[in-house]
Amino acid sequence: MQEAEFSPMPSGPALTEPQKALLKLGLKRDIDLALHLPLRYEDETRITRLADAREGQTVQIEAVVTDNHIAFRPRRQLVVTVDDGSDACVLRFFSFYPSQQKALAVGARIRARGELKGGLLGWQMVHPVCRSAAGELPQALTPVYPTAAGLPQSYLRKAILAALGRADLSDTLPPPALGPLGLQPEWDLGRTLRFLHQPGPDTALATLEDRSHPAWQRLKAEELLAQQLSQIEAKRERDALRAPALAARRGGLHEQLLAALPFALTAAQRRVVEEIAADLGRAVPMHRLLQGDVGSGKTVVAALAAAVAIDAGWQCALMAPTEILAEQHFRKLIGWLEPLLAPRGLRVAWLTGSQRKKERAQMLAQVASGEAALVVGTHAVIQEQVQFQRLALAIIDEQHRFGVAQRLALRSKMAEAGHEPHLLMMSATPIPRTLAMSYYADLDVSTIDQLPPGRTPVVTKLISDSRRDEVVERIRAQLAQGRQVYWVCPLIEESEALDLTNATATHQALSQALPGVLVGLLHSRMPSPEKKAVMALFEGGQMAVLVSTTVIEVGVDVPNASLMVIEHAERFGLSQLHQLRGRVGRGAAASACVLLYSPGDNGRLGETARSRLKAMVETADGFEIARRDLEIRGPGEFLGARQSGAPLLRFADLVADAALLERVRELAPVMLDRHAELARKHVARWLGGRQDYLKA
């Protein structure tokens, strides 16, 4: 066999089908192939006698073909009878090539592997894997790899074997690290990988399946270490950059803002403001995530940070993922800051996608001249034509809703000015601790863990969709008290059109059921001015009920709203539900959230849907919700911006391997200091070119 045939990185232009598939799977380098581990193993190392076999067992038999014919009833099939000396067995193939039929000619001695079925007609196997009985039995379990269309197992196996032979598998873990990580020195990386690709026949498969085998421990530790190292590196790289040091002046803008606020900050808000101010005061770019439950008051914290930057003579950019969110989230903030800016001859500029050309040009000029001290908008804020005069601070609301590309664009935009601005990201979806320690290890995190005083807890009720009428009664009761109501319709991902019909129908039904009440409708396809008009009516209190299609439209702050109805709640994610619920309970009135659910066709809710709804009823604590969400969905969904293209953990599990993660975390900085070269090699080996995503 020529090695070149399986070379994973061919130089010529013409890629074969399997080569293309390899690239698609991200298997470019030898080490990528070496780290592509089997899903499971098949035991072809032994032969089972039919007389000793049990029904339902997956076995390999060695037998001689005694009959071979094509049957046409009940459908066309190749029927091959074999005998292993202890018993006979019928092999059935519903699709087959002539060559297969020939290989199974009467008299041929073959090995067949498959699930044994018993029955009146004796033993049977359907579509067993057959090969000639020539040659020795394999010495190792046969790996079954995750693969893709156009990439047969046999090709992948050979490619991986060849790569294992070529790849540099020398250890990057310094020997003193092994003990603290609970690793066994004899399981070095080379042995670990060779073993996992071809475990010997005596291996206890259970220890591979539950990943408790020392080889698995080794791999998990290596993977977690690569992740930690690359993030510490990213952080250190950033620490070497220069940002404007923004000192918070006595009597400065932020103190004026504090004095003008209609409320006092909570202790938690004061704490995070201090953390942020300390960062801003350093000449190193801040990279901080501000997390706090819905309604915990992140906006005012952002305003205070902006005030510090503006007071120091710099510009601040504020971004939200959608226009409505930008408007809703920042209107208050602008209301607070604008009166303080005006006397200084400064203003607030808006940049959004739907802006008219003329208005936009005017705004761009203000941004470029520095007259606009605060620039607010959607990702239009970071588009190419936008030239800041002196950008010092960028604040991103709902950061997880931005994509990787947008965040990378932001970083490069910010770097244009010759210095790095500070970056403050805000999120209402708290990151569970294990995630914060792993995927976000390069971020500093500030947490508002306290709600402003006077909030009443929201009562959450699960109600079957068949009891809609009762919900309408509830709405009437709230309206009678002068309260307002949200009704959120589900996102039907396959079809925006369906979404709309659904919401429109609900809107009509509610309008009819509530005569004399202004019921509004908000959906994503409405033109911007219309959306704004609807929002204004609801915020002004003239509109009592707001029916809305998508979650995004509901980033509103209407303290008088006391009831949130979520239709088809079983279709929403847990943190989405939690965020939606956070739209009520903002005033002093007792508030409720009704989760309307429709059981599936079988009359039952799915397992995950049930655990989500259960979590909603049981807890209102954003951190607990996040923890359960992580349990239900795994980390992928959480990462939002980091999700696509980011190297997710393949081997380690954040929940099961939390203890290992802790130990790796302690070790990583030490390794970077004492064994910089090994650390660099380790990261390159594990992450290849992908570590950039982690910096986004």
Give me the residues that bind ligand ADP (CB under 6 A), please: 263, 265-266, 269, 292, 294-300, 332, 428, 452, 557, 586
Q: Which does 295 bind (CB under 5 to 8 A by kind): ligand ADP, Mg ion, none?
A: ligand ADP
Q: Across 84-150, where does the E strand assignment appear?
A: 88-93, 109-115, 123-126, 129-132, 142-144
Among residues 304 and 312, whose Cβ is nearest to Mg ion? 304
CA distance 21 to 618: 46
For 566, residues 6+ apart whose C-beta sits below 8 A from its C-beta are 488, 572, 577, 580, 581, 593, 594, 595, 596
Measured from the CB atom, is 303 or 616 closer to Mg ion? Answer: 303
Min dist CB 382 to ligand ADP, Å, is 21
First to last CA, the chain: 43
CB of 270 to ligand ADP, least distance (A): 9
Question: Is the Cβ–Cβ distance between 419 and 243 less than 8 Å?
Answer: yes
Specify the length of the chain in residues. 696
Q: Which residue lies nearer to ligand ADP by CB, 265 or 696?
A: 265
Q: How far is the CB of 384 from Mg ion (least distance, A)?
A: 28
Among ligand ADP, Mg ion, none, the one that 294 touches (CB under a kind-dependent 5 to 8 A) is: ligand ADP
Give the shortest CB-450-to-ligand ADP separation in angstroms.
9
**Residue 557 CB, nearest approach to ligand ADP (Å):** 5
Least distance from Mg ion to the Cβ atom of residue 559, Å:
14
Strands (E), 523-676: 545-548, 561-566, 591-597
Residue 296 binds which one of Mg ion, ligand ADP, none, with CB within 5 to 8 A depending on kind?
Answer: ligand ADP
Q: Which two tokens stand for residue 502?
A: 């659904």
At 555, phi and psi to the nearest 5?
-80, 55
Q: How many CB atoms lie within 10 A of CB 552?
A: 18
How buried is residue 259: exposed, middle or buried, by Cβ count under 10 Å (0-12/13-18/19+)? exposed
Nearest alpha-carbon partner for 433 in 147, 566, 630, 600: 630
CB-based contact 174:671 (threshold 8 Å): yes
Nearer to ligand ADP, 97 or 263 (CB): 263
CB of 266 to ligand ADP, least distance (A): 5
Residue number of the CB atom closest to Mg ion: 329
With CB under 5 to 8 Å by kind, the binding choice for 269 among ligand ADP, Mg ion, none is ligand ADP
- Contact partner at residue 688 from Mg ion, ligand ADP, none, CB < 5 to 8 Å by partner kind: none
Helices within 371-403 (DSSP H only): none
Nearer to ligand ADP, 43 or 397 (CB): 397
Task: Give the whole-angstrom CA distance, residue 265 versus residue 255.
Answer: 12
d(CA 508, CA 516): 13
- Part in contact with Mg ion (CB under 5 A); list of ranges 150-158, 323-331, 586-594, 629-637: 323-331
For the bound state, the minimum distance from the C-beta of residue 329 to Mg ion, rounded and expressed in Å, comes to: 5
Element holding 623 (H helix, E strand): helix 622-633
Identify what 382 binds: ligand ADP, Mg ion, none; CB under 5 to 8 Å per kind.
none
Tokens, residue 35? 């780290």
**Which entry of Mg ion, ligand ADP, none binds 265, CB below 5 to 8 A by partner kind?**
ligand ADP
Looking at the Cβ atoms of 281 and 587, the one nearer to ligand ADP is 587
Per DSSP, the chain holds a count of helices (H) and strands (E) of 24, 21
Residue nearest to ligand ADP (CB): 297
392 binding partner (options ligand ADP, Mg ion, none; Cβ < 5 to 8 Å by kind): none
292 or 635, CB closer to ligand ADP? 292
- Residue placing its CB nearer to ligand ADP in the complex, 9 or 536: 536
Both structure tokens of 443:
């971020």
- Name the residue nearer to ligand ADP (CB basis): 559 or 669: 559
Cα→Cα distances 299→335, 396, 510, Å: 12, 11, 33
Residue among 145 and 330 whose Cβ is closer to ligand ADP:
330
For the beta carbon of residue 655, count every other beta carbon within 10 angstroms. 13
| Count of chain residues binding Mg ion (CB under 5 A) | 1
| Of 298, 324, 291, 316, nearest in space to 400 by CA | 291
Residue with tokens 């000619």: 105
* In the complex, least distance from residue 632 CB atom to ligand ADP, rounded to whole angstroms: 23
Stretch that binds Mg ion, among 328-336, 403-411, 449-457, 624-632 (CB under 5 A): 328-336
Lookup: tokens for 511: 């309008």
Name the phi and psi angles at 288, rounded to 5. Answer: -125, 140
Q: Where are the alpha helices (DSSP H) in 317-376?
A: 323-341, 357-369
452 binds, among Mg ion, ligand ADP, none (CB under 5 to 8 A by kind): ligand ADP
Q: How many CB atoms lie within 10 A of CB 420?
A: 22
Give the residue with the Cβ less far from Mg ion, 329 or 360: 329
The one-letter amino acid at 309: A
Given the rule CB under 5 A, which of 84-92, 322-330, 354-362, 605-613 is the region that contacts Mg ion?
322-330
Residue number with CB closer to ligand ADP (187 or 330): 330
Instruction: Give the Cα separation of 481 and 256 in Å (integer).
Output: 38
Picked from Mg ion, ligand ADP, none, the partner binding residue 379 (CB below 5 to 8 A depending on kind) is: none
State whether residue 206 is helix, strand or coil.
helix
Segment lying near Mg ion (by CB under 5 A), choices 327-335, 373-381, 443-451, 509-517: 327-335
Q: Select from 83-91, 325-333, 508-516, 667-675 the region that touches Mg ion (CB under 5 A).
A: 325-333
In single-letter form, the type of residue at position 39 comes to L
- Stretches 321-329, 497-505, 603-611, 632-640: which one binds Mg ion (CB under 5 A)? 321-329
Provide, rounded to whole angstroms, the least separation between the CB of residue 582 and Mg ion: 9
C-alpha 95/C-alpha 118 separation (Å) is 22
- Decide which of ligand ADP, Mg ion, none touches 128; Cβ closer than 5 to 8 Å per partner kind: none
**Beta pairing class for 347-351 and 372-377:** parallel
Give whichever of 30 and 398 is closer to ligand ADP, judged by the CB atom.
398
Chain residues binding Mg ion by CB under 5 A are 329
